[in-house]
Amino acid sequence: MKQQAVTIRLEQGLEARPVAMLVQVASRHSSSVYLEADGRKVNAKSIMGMMSLGLGSGEMVTVIADGPDEDAAVADMTDYLCGKN
């Protein structure tokens, strides 16, 4: 299992379109991928779970991945949340 703390750097925060794109990034990986914020942990491959977090720009989250490509999953999710994609 690998995890990384990240500050969200998306101007819109995690609204509908950015969440849908983040779910696509997570779904590219065979590892289980989660986002954790404020004591809540949700499946990053679930659009409804991600929307339920209601996260905005500047908030801290922890990206957690467990599986064969966990390093790549955490790196891709971190890049997206930091606005590098």
Q: Is 1 exposed, middle or buried (0-12, 13-18, 19+ CB in 10 A)?
A: exposed
At 35 the pLDDT is 97
Q: Which residues of the chain have pLDDT under 50?
A: none
For residue 72, give the CATH number of its domain: 3.30.1340.10
Buried b (16+ CB within 10 A) or exposed e, 11-30: eebbeeebbeebbebbeebe
Range of the domain at 53: 2-81
At 85 the pLDDT is 65
Q: Tokens representing 48?
A: 């409804």
What is the count of structural domains for the chain? 1
At 13 the pLDDT is 78
3-state DSSP call for residue 73?
helix
pTM attached to this predicted model? 0.93
